Structure 1
Amino acid sequence: MAERYSSFQSGSMSWFLQRVTAAFLVVVLAFHFFMLHFVHHAPEVTFAGTQARMSQIGYFLTMTLFLITAAFHGVNGVYAALINQGLTGSRKTAVKWVLVVAGVLLSAQGIYVALVMNGLM
Structure 2
Amino acid sequence: MAERYSSFTPGGTGWLLQRITAAFLVIVLAFHFFQLHFVTHAAEVTFAGTSARMENIGYFLTMVLFLITAAFHGINGIYNALVNQGLSGTPKKVVFAILTIAGVALVAQGIYVAIVMAGGTIS
Whether TM exceeds 0.5 here: the answer is yes
Match of 2:112 in 1: 112
Q: CA deviation at 1:42?
A: 1.4
Distance 1:59 1:32 in 2: 10
Distance 1:42 1:8 in 2: 38
The 5 A counterparts of 1:1-121 are 1-121=1-121
Which residues of structure 2 form unaligned runs of 5+? none
Q: CA deviation at 1:41?
A: 0.5
Backbone CA RMSD of aligned residues: 0.5
Aligned pair count reads: 121
Which residues of structure 1 form unaligned runs of 5+? none
Q: What TM-score, normalized to structure 1?
A: 0.99
Distance 2:109 2:40 in 1: 25
Q: CA deviation at 1:81?
A: 0.2
| Paired letter, 1:71 | A
Q: CA deviation at 1:3?
A: 1.2
Distance 2:100 2:31 in 1: 27
- In percent, how many aligned pairs have the same letter? 71
